[in-house]
Structure 1
Amino acid sequence: MTQNPGSAAHPHKPAWAGRNYSLLTAATVVTGLGANGSLIAAAFAVLESGGDGGAVGLVAAARTLPLVVFLLIGGALADRLPRHRVMVAANALNCLSQGAFALLVLTGEPRLWQMMLLTALGGTGQAFFGPAAEGMLMSSVDGEQAARAFAFFRLATQGAALGGATLGGVLVAAVGPGWVLAIDAAGFAVAGALRSFLDVGHIPPRTPGEGMLADLHEGWREFIGRPWLWGIVVQFSIANAVVGAADSVYGPLVARDRLGGAGPWGLALASFGAGTVAGALLMTRWKPRRLLLAGTLCVFPLALPSAALAVPVPVGVLYVVMFVAGTTVEVFSVSWMTALHQEIPEDKLSRVSAYDWFGSVSLLPLATALAGPAESAVGRSAALWGCAALVVLVTAPVLLLQDVRTLTRRTKQVTDSTPASADTERPVGGLG
């Protein structure tokens, strides 16, 4: 892959940290600071308005349901239209929805349906943004430097997540959730402005297709033909659902009842963020040869936070557990991004990313909506132990996929005419 205009080197930057990469990283840091605080703010806005765990779950479900509905359309559009325009439009929608949510909280007593509607608009923006952003990032770095570029990108954005969670918990406790939501809205405005300067001139013009359904079908063939890809997505459809329910519903409730409120829970999320920073920093130096094997083994500790909340452990122990889980899951994240960049054609990146996102979040609305009833039926502790067990049970079978065990990092760039297996131990995609 030749260097593209979006990756022109600056004398004081690494060769892979070009203009597009720098803009994408800066914009994601800005939104990361606000978004991680706003998750805490939204949960406590519901609780302060008189809602219970079920209401918190419904608002969280309202955020993720539009992802399931619109992700595939968003992926197809991002492979048809200039990706930066899709991203800017999505940021504008997020800015407006979070601004309205903040105004509602600051000026009165928000009703549950209003909070659900506004978070649903934010989720709609994310559905169109996510596939476009992932495709844009992957097209902005060169193949041989991709792993390091992704690791530094994750390092910067997870650092923002750490700061956002820490500040979010403190600010919610100090000034209330409304102001934190307002800060998040302003962050989306700034990020949209930065992303409007992205250069897409290096991306080859798209060949006119046969329509949206044909584009989606082509992306589906690319997705389903690679067992390692759909196997891990199925795994995370369940793992993300139960972890999301634990973090968005049970976590704030345990914090309120046993840990001291929003401040300690914000620090717990910040500890997870610190772990992801440590994991990203590790991945700037470590390049595991078997990408997916190393990544999948590092998913098992994701069960630990739910188990810790189920006990519940003292808050200091919870911080350590969250740090370990964050570190290991970040190893998976960088390995996963590197594998996608290595194996998926550029013109299909956003559609494959959409199927990835779709599978990964498809059960999240159901899990968060059922979190409250599950607590009522079996108790909070039993529900959290169930979350931990499910993470382990759905991760173990992924190791049975041969491609997960053998997919190997390429040590040199291959051309379109070079077989995919030229520098891997065996061909990947379409093989079980």
Structure 2
Amino acid sequence: MTTTTDAPTRGAATRPALPRPYLLWLVGTQAGLLGDAALYFALGWAASAHGGGAAGLVLTAITVPRTALVLLGGAVADRFGARRVMLAGDAVMLAATVALALTAADRGTPLWLLVAAAAVIGTVDAFYLPASGSMPRRLVPADRLPRALALRQAGGQGAVLLGAPLGGLLVTAGGLSGAAVADAVSFGVVLLVLLRVRPAADEPTGPRTGLLREAASGVRLALADPLLRAALLLAGAAAGALLPVVSLLGPLLARAHGWAAGTAGLVSGGQAAGTLVVAGLVAWRGALPRAGVGAAAGLCTASAGAALLALATGPVAAVAGSTVAGLGSGLFACHLGPLVLTGAPPTHLSRVQALLTLVQSVALALSNTLLGLLADAAGAVLPTLLCALATAAAGLTALAGPALRRA
């Protein structure tokens, strides 16, 4: 076993430590994610008071600008530097959340305010997400990247688990204004962290040909590269076939069985717990030697969990199925993420991350719509089984293809 930093190590005593700038950035990022999760809950809760159509409108106001502008956001981050884009985004969101808190305290929560806040969030996300997604590659050596991304994913899952309860407490104590103030504080923390963290490889390179052409060049690069192309297609397949299993179909299955909301929450929690366990193990011990095989094995594992969830007749089996699906999801994400980051050239880091976000967002939006319609027509069991089959097919296809099998 080697103990140099030129190759990944697996022993807990000999593995190289993650760089301190990355750990500092990660702490700030997780604070921001927790604040965002609390605000998202508060926005959804406030919107639900206006009816289901209004709640859907608020969600749409986030997703539409984020999806429409994300490729441009990646080009901006690659041209001007990821750190600069993140500093600008955090500053805008700090001002926006303070304004939201003041306006909500004065005028309550009219629908126009919720839609405006959601549109600002979606627009900033379009520029912020590609920049943030490229930061681990800019701060961490390649041999430690799988552990770094796994640690980030574990923190993200923790924010998801804690965000909704925290949002509920903040709304109870201070309404939407209270949640907005908390999110503003989190953006202030991230700003302070970013002022101290300076990635060594964050200087824009390459010719400037116009932002739209630069965004298109990121798409062309990814489509021309066999590994990136296969990884992005696999990410889209996983987003469309796997993500809706617990978020959309899990609650529908619970209602079909007559289970209480608490049981449905346990099913969702099982998925998050499974993902968190795998992310923690990879952060501690390191990833599998062949990342492509690990990602494909994760999808095959997740498909078994989805099938178990679909066929479960009691809560225990359903929670077990969602937990297995979470284990597979974590295994997939912890191995595919490093492949995409290391496969992108330094000049296109944010643009490839933007394309990854776009592929997943479009696939998820389409599958949620189709699966929801199918569930209305035939019940939730059939679409859940179809998701299990599609996830298994994606994993087996990845194993059959040389680009990912040899990665």
Same fold (TM over 0.5): yes
> 1:43 matched to which residue of 2?
44
14-23 or 281-290: which moved more?
14-23
Partners of 1:256 and 1:178 lie apart in 2 by 33
Cross-structure match for 2:389:
392
Alpha-carbon distance between aligned partners in 1 of 2:324 and 2:121, rounded to the nearest angstrom: 30
Q: Percent identity?
A: 27
Q: Deviations over 1:177-197 (max 9, x none)?
A: 664454234322321331232
Shift of 1:342: 3.2
Higher helix share: 2
Could you tell me how far 1:141 is from its partner in structure 2? Answer: 0.9
Q: Show the 5 A alignment for 1:21-60.
A: 21-47=22-48, 49-52=49-52, 54-60=53-59
The corresponding residue for 2:190 is: 191
**Which segment drifts farther, 191-200 or 106-115?**
106-115
Counterparts of residues 6-155 of structure 1 (less than 5 Å): 15-47=16-48, 49-52=49-52, 54-99=53-98, 110-155=109-154
Give the 3-state SS of the residue equivalent to 2:124 in structure 1: helix
Specify the SS of the correspondent of 1:400.
Answer: helix
Deviation track 1:104-128 (CA, whole Å, cap 9, x = no partner) reads 6666664445433322221211111
**Per the alignment, in what secondary structure is the counterpart of residue 196 of structure 2?**
coil
| Aligned pairs (5 A) from 1:29-428 | 29-47=30-48, 49-52=49-52, 54-99=53-98, 110-168=109-167, 179-203=178-202, 206-237=205-236, 239-241=238-240, 269-283=268-282, 284-300=284-300, 302=302, 319-365=319-365, 370=369, 374=372, 379=376, 382=379, 385-386=382-383, 389-390=386-387, 392-393=389-390, 396-397=393-394, 399-401=396-398, 402-408=401-407
Q: CA deviation at 1:404?
A: 4.9
Residue pair 2:104, 2:177 contacting (<8 A) in 1 also: yes
Q: How far apart are 1:171 and its partner, in Å?
A: 5.7
Code of the residue aligned with 2:288 in structure 1: it is: P
Three-state SS of the structure 2 residue aligned to 1:299 is helix
Instruction: State the alpha-carbon separation in 2 of the partners of residues 102 and 205 from structure 1.
Output: 36
Distance 1:133 1:211, change over 3 A: same
Q: CA deviation at 1:351?
A: 1.2
Partner SS, residue 161 of structure 1: helix
More deviation in 25-34 or 295-304? Answer: 295-304
Look up the equivalent residue of 2:43 and give its one-letter code.
A
On the 8 A contact 1:162/1:272 being kept in 2, the answer is no
TM-score by length of 1: 0.74
Q: Write the deviation string for residues 143-162 of structure 1: whole angstroms up to 9, x where unpaired.
A: 22222232333333433333
Cα 1:59–1:148 change in 2 (3 A) is same
State whether residues 301 and 325 of structure 2, in contact with CA within 8 Å, keep that contact through their aligned partners in structure 1: yes
- CA, structure 1 residues 352+202, in 2 after alignment: closer, same or farther (shift >3 Å)? closer
Q: Kindly provide the CA deviation profile for residues 21-80 of structure 1, in whole angstroms up to 9, marking residues without a partner as x.
A: 022211121022223334443333333x0422x544443232222221111111111111
Q: What runs of 5+ residues in structure 1 fail to find an aligned partner?
A: 4-12, 409-432
* Equivalent position amino acid for 1:354 in 2: A
- Superposition deviation, residue 250 in structure 1: 6.8
Name the residue aligned to 2:11.
none
Task: State the AA in 1 paired with 2:324.
Answer: V
Letter in 1 for 2:163: G
Task: Provide the residue aligned with 1:7 in structure 2.
Answer: none
2:88 partner letter: A
Q: Cα RMSD over matched residues?
A: 4.0
Q: Which amino acid aligns with 2:32?
A: T
The one-letter code sitting in structure 1 at the alignment partner of 2:347 is D
- Indicate conservation of the 8 Å contact 1:76/1:350, yes or no: yes
Tell me how many residue pairs correspond in the alignment: 392
